[in-house]
Amino acid sequence: MKTKMILRIMVFLELLPSATIMGQITSVDNIIGIDVSTFPQNAGFNYDSCFLLGKNLGMGSVGIFQNWTAIETTPFTYDFAIMDIANYYYPAYSMPVDLTITPIHTNNLEVPSDLTSMAFDDPIFINRFKALLDSIKVHIPNVTLSSLVIGSEFDVYLGTDAALWMQYANFYNSVLSYAKTLWPGLNVATELTFNGITSQNGFAQALNTNSDFIGVSYYPLNSDFTVKPVSTIPVDFETLVGLYPSKPICFYQYGYPSGTVCNSSETLQARFITQTFATWDTYAANIRMIDFTWLHDLDTALVNYYGTYYGLTDTVFLEYLHTLGLRRWDANGTNKAAFEELQCQAKQRGYNNLNIHCTDGILDLSINKNYNISIFPNPVQNQLNIQTPFDLYNAEVIIYNTLGQIGKRISNINSRNTNIETFDLPSGLYFVALKNDGKQISGRFLITK
């Protein structure tokens, strides 16, 4: 789900100065984003303040999201205020923009009132959208577009209606081709929900024939808006990459609520971030961008507004909307564990140089951060050594890959120094968890053959 106008902060990864870990995401192919959707309960905290949080994280690009009706407010009456601001604000920072324009926003038709009963592929409908693009082009001459996204989660609106899918595909392909004449070399995408792009695979594949990027929104939820386990992420990524192995995938929305009503917590939300990066490393060549939704929790007024907008007033759905943020809304806006984990995961991959303490390779946030684990050599070929700062008694070591699959499990360890044979494990990135006497510490290492 998106707000009517969301400015999305995108974060380009910077290459590590040292050797890059095999399969790890890099600034050449991958982008991290954060939706700046609302500001905390503090009059002094504005968009610039949110922008600075993203900049400190390593910001390199931003996104603009607008419904068609937010620009063409009534037939042939336009409001380009956001575009005019963008034209001056972002070029000053040399930042490209991902621009989303929505004729359909999830389950709502967002077209001018004189077009609501018209087929999507009617020439009049298509030409009006082309005229809209003409005007947008005039108002953002200084902006560099990273991508143009046409429609957001519209599979919810189209359902299983084959005729509607065909109409929208005809409309999309027509305006896609036209947009490329306005912005030569432009990358164009359209955004489907994860459920839609997988369950309506035939319609989605046909629609995305000419797409440059595969746009997806991803919220791993059950039908009652309670959360799925974070172990769902590797399975879902594998499914999506299997459907689109040769086109870059962009998660234009990506989030996980922290509300207890959703069977979640702030700790579980942070684990969601950790598992995301571990899995993304595996699919670095396929997944271009993940845009984490959103920076702050929504206040009650916005939650109620969007509940009405989407026609869903269920308590669990409203709590899902309310607690998607990486930071809390109340007071000055304080970090949840998920935001701190995002900062650390970004720092570990060279996105930023923030002065923060991060434990390398966290996959289990029940970890006691007063302890550190040492792994050497790293990278390793046939044998690694693990050192701990405390005595071990009947400890257990588990080694697993980025998909969460266990490669080795060793029990009854009674030494601070443990040697582990790795010659039988294939090359790649691995994680190790050491459990002993209620303590658990984790780390990561690379195997090269």
Q: Is the N-terminal amide bond of 184 cis, ω within 30° of 0?
A: no
Count H helices and E strands in the chain, helices first. 13, 19
Position 372 scores a pLDDT of: 60
Residue with the larger pLDDT of the pair 155 and 395 = 155
Both tokens of 356, joined, read 């923060």
Both tokens of 112, joined, read 């001018």
Question: What is the Cα–Cα distance from 216 to 299, expressed in whole angstroms?
Answer: 26
DSSP for 274-304, written as a single string: HHHHHHHHHTTTTEEEEEES-SBPPPHHHHH
**Options 2.60.120.620, 3.10.129.10, 3.20.20.120, 2.60.40.3080; which CATH number does 374-447 get?**
2.60.40.3080
**What is the DSSP-derived secondary structure letter of residue 191?**
E
The top-level CATH class assigned to 5-348 is alpha beta
The CA-CA-CA angle for residues 212, 216, 222, to 5°, reads 165
Q: Is the pLDDT of residue 7 over 50?
A: no
The CA-CA-CA angle for residues 305, 306, 309, to 5°, reads 95
Question: What is the Cα–Cα distance from 380 to 445, expressed in whole angstroms?
Answer: 7
Phi first, then psi: give them for residue 57, nearest 5 degrees.
-75, -20
Position 11 scores a pLDDT of: 30
Q: Is the pLDDT of residue 19 over 80?
A: no
Question: What is the Cα–Cα distance from 272 to 341, expressed in whole angstroms?
Answer: 10
For the chain, which residues make up each domain, given as ranges?
A: 5-348, 374-447
**Nearest Cα to 36, choosing from 25, 27, 45?**
45
Q: Is the N-terminal amide bond of 141 cis, ω within 30° of 0?
A: no
Residue with the larger pLDDT of the pair 419 and 14 = 419
Cβ neighbours for 103, distance < 8 A, ≥ 6 positions apart: 68, 109, 110, 111, 120, 129, 150, 151, 154, 171
Q: What is the mean pLDDT of residues 111-122?
A: 98
Percent of the chain with pLDDT over 90: 56
Q: What is the pLDDT of residues 286-326, one digit of tens each?
A: 999 999 988 999 989 999 999 999 999 999 999 999 999 99
- What confidence tier does 359 reach under pLDDT thresholds 50, 70, 90? low
Identical topology for domains 5-348 and 374-447:
no
Count other C-beta atoms under 10 Å from residue 4's C-beta: 15
Count other C-beta atoms under 10 Å from residue 59's C-beta: 22
Question: What is the Cα–Cα distance from 419 to 399, expressed in whole angstroms?
Answer: 13
| DSSP SS3 for 406 | strand
Q: What is the pLDDT of residues 67-109, one digit of tens each?
A: 999 999 999 999 999 999 999 998 988 888 899 999 999 999 9
